[in-house]
Structures are given as structure tokens and as C-alpha cells.
Structure 1
Amino acid sequence: MTSHPSRPVADLFSADGRLKAIPRKPARREALLAHLAVTLFEADRTYREPEVNAALRAVHEDFPALRRHLVTGGFLSRTKDGSDYRRQQRPGSPGGAIPSAA
């Protein structure tokens, strides 16, 4: 069976909405991160680190790893001091953020 990057991510979550595991395969992990970015974080809003942690902790206990993957994958941007985060628009992302006018 061939894995498709566009495959829905619903099978990664248990019935209670918690993430079973962070996928190791890059394409699956990227699909998950895109889903989390769009569903947990509003476009054009700045989040403090405790808010990001709380949102990610609601889906998985390893929220620091999820936060790091979201930042390194370009789904969230972080200020140099690590205190503020914003959802980023990624070209071609389904349901992606509206482009910034800035």
C-alpha cells in the first residue's frame, strides 16, 4: 500500500481527539502539522508561548516537539526571544491563511 501525503489525518487521532503519536514519515508529519496549524491557530493573531503550549498539550503530551516541528516546518513563526508565535501562510496549503497585507 502506498502512502499518499494528502491522506486525511483523522486516523492519527483517538476517539477522544488526542493525537496517538507524532508521525515519523515526513509527508504524514507535514500533513498533521498543516492540520494542527489551521485548526488550533487563527491567522493574523499573535500567540504567547503559554497559549501555544496549552493548545498543543490539548492534543498530545509532547507539546514541545509539536511546537518545534511547527516552527521548523514553517507553520508557525516565532520571535527571536521565543515569546510570540504567529501562524504562517504556506503556499498551496489547504485552507491556508489569508495573505498578510503587510
Structure 2
Amino acid sequence: MTKRYREELDEVITGGGSDAAEADPRGAGAPTEFRWRGRSYTVLQVLGHWREDAGWWRRPDGVPIQLERTDLWRVEAQNGRPTRGVYELVRRGETWRLDRVWD
């Protein structure tokens, strides 16, 4: 089951700078840790990464919608408890948010 949150994250630590993420669309700059609602989570594994470019989205008349590029990461993470969860993290510009959680 999944629950959608769309909440801004307190902090995200990545495995490379934003320049690395720009250069490597396969996943440089992947999140390694994040803070959400005051709790720290360690990313155990990246399950998927994809990017939505501005040209992907179009109005009904075919004109592209100008959005900042968006990177989406599906990760398995743990916050110090024995249980693990799957989280979808979204980065648009310099802003990160938690989009959804699977239990």
C-alpha cells in the first residue's frame, strides 16, 4: 500500500554534488540520507531513478510547459529501526520533497 505525502524534506545528503547529478543522468548525486519530520533516514538502496524534462509535459494545444527539470528517486531506507520502507524522493531545482511512502 502507498501513501502520498508531498512534503518538503528537512535535509537531503547526496552522494555527489549537484554538478555530478547534472553530468550523469543515470544517478550521480543520488540521496544517501534524508531528514523527514525530524527523523533521519539512511538510504540502503536506490531502486529507481528517472528524470522529467520540461519538454515532456505539454498543454492540450501542444505547447511545452516550462518547468524546472525534476529528478525522482525511489529508495529503500531505514531510520534506525529494524523495519525498512520504500520512499519516493523528488528534487526540483534545489528543493527536495517526499512524494510517497510504501509500507
Which category of TM-score, normalised to the shorter sequence, fits these structures? under 0.3
Relative to the length of structure 2, the TM-score reads 0.27
* Greater radius of gyration (CA): 2
Relative to the length of structure 1, the TM-score reads 0.27
